[in-house]
Amino acid sequence: MSNFIGIRHEDLYARERRAPLIPEHVNYLVQKKNIDIIVQKSDKRVFTDAEYLKAGARIAPDLKECRIILGVKEVPVNDFEKGKTYVNFSHVVKGQAYNMPRLKKMMELECNLIDYEKITDEQGHRVIFFGYHAGLAGMINSLWALGIRLKERGIETPFLRIKQAHTYNSLAEAQQEISEVGLVIAEEGLPEEILPLTIGFTGYGHVSQGAQEILGLLPVKEISPEKLLMLKNRKCSPKNLLYKVVFHQEHIAQHKEGKPFDKTDYYRNPANYSSLFENYLPGLTVLMNCMYWEPRFPKLVTKEAVSRLFAEKETYKGVESEPAVQPTQTPYPKLTVIGDITCDPDGSIEITHKGTEIEDPLFVYNPDTQMQTMGYKGPGLLVMAVHILPSELPRESSASFSNALIHYLKPIVDCDFDESFSDLELPKPIKKALILHNGNLTPDYQYLKEHLKATSDITTKATHA
């Protein structure tokens, strides 16, 4: 088998336009590191075949000659080839049931799997990621969603000038337009009906930082979660600014026995904690969900919490409502948009049953029916849950990702994967991210056997039903 590195054509989603390596870095690897690279033909990738050809790569319809295959998203289950090394976001480390067939197929074909998500430094921080750009695009989309949702309710705002992220020619163009919206808010103010306008962020990592950077283009004042709870008691709110709130773990969960919050204990024993985040929901206009989440942790926004939110009398100023008789009789709670960047199906935001596509990014969740309606119209809560947000800024996000990945490719190419796992000569961050070695789960990922078995049992029961 050759030593060619292959770059896949992304075929999991129609509007996935990212690339793991940009032409500039391909040129460096070809010229300086003597690495041969084949790029699979693509009509939609943000960087053209011609750009890669000029950079020194070969262009081919398939990657049959390649020993190592780089991609962004998952590989279709029927495209795996025996003994090859795949480097991508596999989305298996949480035991995701929908990807267990892919993992099983790679095991049967004795493949190697390196997952970007698990390439971390000594402190456990990810070193190759798209999260920052997910935050940028997610905030742009959520401000756009806020504008059209308020317009649907008869409230005109400057946010109507903002468009969905992918419609801009560049990040800079989007930033310029949002900055102009900020000037309008500073000079003319916001409608009284939506004051105070508050935007909350869960988490403080790369995703949250990207989202907060976009919000920072508007006139913003940061307040604590404690002060958020007191805002509703103010007799008047300034028209020319927004309030930003960043929530940490201690604002999200509390010990079930009333003990003081302990972050270390929370991560070790999350079953001892329950969510208290519902307390903050009535004070938010927009919630940006930017935090990492696993099923062992409490949910942030449950279906029951949304139902109770819509049962509250408190609505936008100037919008009359009778005392709630049915759970959702009050049509307009303050919370208008959830930007679910984390996008775990039925996860931390329980009403997000699945991620949305770039071409159909929004849905309204109706707590009466517990159903989703795609679009931005109808009763309920508007959710933006695009699951490939960085692809709305494909050029910038690919360049940032490639700049981190390039440093690890030479050791991967030089590695003899036929050696035992203990003898593999790989940088420590890469070795930690090696989920499969010649089709076998590596020591840190033995727990996936239970998920594989559970998925297999379900399939067997369905077959015999």
Structure letter (DSSP) for residue 43:
S
Length of the chain: 465
User: 267 with 123: CB under 8 angstroms?
Assistant: no
pLDDT of res. 2: 59
Structure letter (DSSP) for residue 392:
G
What mean pLDDT, rounded, does the chain reach?
A: 92
pTM: 0.89
- Burial (0-12, 13-18, 19+ Cβ within 10 Å), 130: buried
Tokens of 45: 């990738």
Instruction: Round to the nearest angstrom and report the end-to-end CA distance of the chain.
Output: 44
User: 95 with 450: CB under 8 angstroms?
Assistant: yes
Which residue in 67, 55, 49 sits closest to 31, CA to CA?
55
Which residue in 97, 36, 96 sits closest to 63, CA to CA?
36
Assess whether pLDDT exceeds 60 at residue 329.
Answer: no
Which residue in 282, 277, 284 sits closest to 300, CA to CA?
277
pLDDT of res. 312: 74
Who wins on pLDDT, 236 or 18? 18
Give start and end residues of each alpha helix (H) in 294-383: 303-311
- Give the count of beta carbons closer than 10 Å to the beta carbon of residue 332: 17
Which residue in 135, 145, 141, 160 sits closest to 336, CA to CA?
145
CA 259 to chain CA centroid, Å, is 32
Per residue in 3-37, pLDDT (tens digit) is 689 999 999 999 999 999 999 999 999 999 999 99
Residues 456 and 55: their CA atoms lie apart, in Å, by 45
Which residue in 137, 129, 173, 144 sits closest to 392, CA to CA?
137
Domain 131-392: CATH superfamily, name plus number: NAD(P)-binding Rossmann-like Domain (3.40.50.720)
Assess whether pLDDT exceeds 70 at residue 328.
Answer: no
pLDDT band, very low/low/confident/very high, at 315 (cuts 50, 70, 90): very low
Residues 190 and 241: their CA atoms lie apart, in Å, by 8
Domain ranges of the chain: 4-128+394-464, 131-392
> Helix, strand, or coil here: 93?
coil
Angle at 175 between CA 174 and CA 178, to 5 degrees: 85
pLDDT of res. 332: 79
Assess whether pLDDT exceeds 80 at residue 460.
Answer: no
Domain 4-128+394-464: CATH superfamily, name plus number: NAD(P)-binding Rossmann-like Domain (3.40.50.720)
